[in-house]
Chains A and B, each alone.
Chain A
Amino acid sequence: MEVITPRTLDEALRLKSERPDARPIAGGTDLLVELNFDRTRPETILNLAEVPELKGWVRENGSLRLGAGLTYTEAMAPELAELLPALAEASRTVGSPQIRNRGTIGGNLGTASPAGDAHPPLLVEDATVEIGSARGVRTLPLTEFFLGPKRNALAEDELVLAVRVDPGRQPQTFMKVGPRNAMVIAVCSLAVGIDRVRGELRAAYGSAGPVPALVTAPLDAREDFPDLVAGASSPIDDVRGTAAYRRHALRVLTKRALDRVFV
């Protein structure tokens, strides 16, 4: 095993194209668990923590570019929390302060877990993913990024560079169900927002299907929306919860979320 640590984005992309098997690591909150429990032994680990271009967030022509290395703690800071309140609420539910200081949005996308907490709020925001490789940069709607449980649309030489959003500045919220009051992987989660420009109710769920997914409906479909969201999900029974409960909870959460955002 070997760890390589690029200092620039160009170097990172070059290394990834030269060694497509290299496992990227940012905050390490997923990969280290696999390493510590002997579940993976990659030949090469690509340490992205020293790449300055991946850090932080910027405004670009009215939209926001969230670097792949943006941590949950950074997403909870007041200025960004005001622009993306559901993402901030979701970040608050991620693990503990220790995890939020390390875990990154780009890492969450890279792992592509159906339970990833950043995914629902970003789906509701109609985010696009900026993907880079030595071949160049492409963007992909987030809805097309998740392909299956822990599978995403990255080619083997590609890295997530950033997530782009145009904050709608409209009411939105995030909720996550777990059997204790902190430090849980989502039994199911939900982000809901109103988009009055498009005239849409937008909801995205996590842990209730093979991928986090977006459900939309016209603004006047408020009554039916909880059933629509629950019906769109395809949850399974697993060690964290039952399919029946997840569907039920999505219905409850959607109703409550709508009550919150229609103010």
Chain B
Amino acid sequence: MKQIFPLTFMTHNDIPHWISHLQKIENVIAPHKNGINSFSFGKVSDPKCVILNYNRTLSSIKKYFLPPKETLFSFSIDGKEPTSSKVEPINAIFLGVHNYDLEAVFRLDHNFLSGHAESQYLTRRQGALFIGVSYTPDEWHFSNSVLKDGEPNHSGGFDLFLHEIEDGYLLETLTESGQNLMKGFPLPEFDGDIPQQQSFNAHIDGGFEKVTDVFSRAWDSPVWESYAEKCVGCGTCNLVCPTCFCFNVEDEVDLDLKTGNRIRTQDGCMLRSFSEVAGGEIFRNQKAARMRHRLYRKFKYISQETGESWCVGCGRCSSYCTAGISIVDIVNDLIHDSNREIGA
């Protein structure tokens, strides 16, 4: 890759000092350890608690731009003009973000920019800087099967990017904003190449090109029903997906019974009530139909307009599925089923 800024080197010991340096510029949001193998993004208070070597966080950084629950406006029940909730730009440095999670943010950008531009998301989205980190794919990651640049060390779109090497990190500077973050924190230049990418363990057979092809004729496949039999319809896959953005809207009344808030909460198309209309009709009553809708949202409906997969291959829905269903298995079964059908 062509270097615009020189590659520099940082030891493991440098990392907490560097984070302290970044904190002087802006709030830093980074992964922390929550349990044996559970990680989550949070605002850094102690730089020593930041974990850069992790497989995946339960929630993506989506939660900072599209909170799981937020107030849209406040009202008084007597019907006076409601008051819009104030939304502030995030103005933060996101440190230790994997390639697929930034790709997911770009997809949310598209959804909230296209058609009616939404102020809640877009206002928050201001002032976000991204520092990526390479990762070692585990049994669930499959980003290079769906993304054009899905390699764990792909740094495109980031301001700075950390490539893990044996005794520390190579720091790649990609934007002027990234360069500005390094002012006052000099690092030795590194004379060498960025290390080879790590290979993936999970794959979609034939990659995204094959996915696009198969989803043009997967509608009536028996594969949907075979996985729906296992699915418990809990919606965890929607909850952890970094590109799921559907929401429900409802009113919460304060204890004084005079005022309240209209809130939106994260919702999921795998939940039975999602497509219910007044009078009780449910338009996707079968789990197989809901599962099909979810996967078509990831691989076809928005993808056919943008040319991009709306699944980023993070592996969250598979690794957290309460019934042990893997999205890679579903897609590969759809591919094999369609190959059988056309006699390939």
A binds B: no
